[in-house]
Chains A and B, each alone.
Chain A
């Protein structure tokens, strides 16, 4: 399919473990976003890339969260020393351009459970 692909679909981590979540955006999409969605809540913005440049990381909750997109396509969200409060669904979205009314395409997310 040509949609946004995220892996793994589910991840169980022990508290203190590092995790890496992968996002494959739609080919050619310039903009890439990461969101965090807690159970029963709407998605919350984490960070935004335009090609390989991380232009906004204001939503990252702590310095344990790190995102990269080195070649302007695939992106990885890394969480170091995971805590129980990091348990959530992590959503990736991409869009073709960076105009205000450009629609976002979301992946199905990675559900992270920290025990």
Chain B
């Protein structure tokens, strides 16, 4: 499985934008890029996913580099509730199961 590299931790201030980077230099042409987040004492929660084009939803935006070797999750206006561990995951082509392989993720701290 292609691997991802994320910073262990990041810190930001409330109501400011947050850019969470992810490197995936060995990504294959058909791998999807998924982002999940895990709030304290909860299971992971889907945030967003994409293949080649940038994606937006009500939670966040996903910016994918043209060569697809990196991506950035953008929280446009962070709130205290966004404090969580954020996981960047590559999903290989369908082989009968979507078995997500989680790494260590980035622990995001939001300062009031």
Bound pair (A, B): yes
Q: Which B residues touch A65, using CB under 8 A?
A: none
Size class of the contact patch on chain B:
20 to 34
Q: Of A33, A99, A101, A106, which one neighbours B99 at CB under 8 angstroms? A: A33
A50, A99, A102, A107: the one contacting B43 at CB < 8 Å is A107
With both beta carbons as reference points, the residue of chain B lying nearest to A6 in the complex is identified as B43
Q: Nearest chain A CB to B57's CB is how many angstroms away?
A: 11
Task: Quote the shortest CB–CB distance from B90 to chain A (angstroms).
Answer: 11
Verify A42–B102 contact, CB threshold 8 A: yes
**Interface contact B32-A100, CB-CB below 8 Å:** yes
Q: Is the interface of B mostly helix, strand, loop or mixed?
A: loop
Interface residues of A in 38-59 (CB under 8 A from B): 41-45, 48, 50, 55-56
Are B97 and A31 in contact (CB-based, < 8 A)? yes
Binding site for A on B (CB under 8 A): 32, 34, 36, 41-46, 49, 51, 85, 87, 91-94, 96-105
A: residues with CB less than 8 A from B are 4, 31, 33, 35, 41-45, 48, 50, 55-56, 91, 93, 95, 98-109
25 CB contacts below 8 A, A to B, read: A4-B43, A33-B99, A42-B87, A42-B105, A45-B101, A50-B96, A50-B97, A55-B97, A56-B96, A56-B97, A91-B44, A93-B43, A98-B98, A100-B91, A100-B92, A100-B94, A101-B49, A102-B98, A103-B34, A103-B49, A104-B100, A105-B46, A106-B44, A107-B43, A109-B42
| 4 other A-B residue contacts (CB within 8 Å) besides A42-B104, A99-B98, A100-B92 | A42-B85, A101-B91, A104-B98, A108-B42
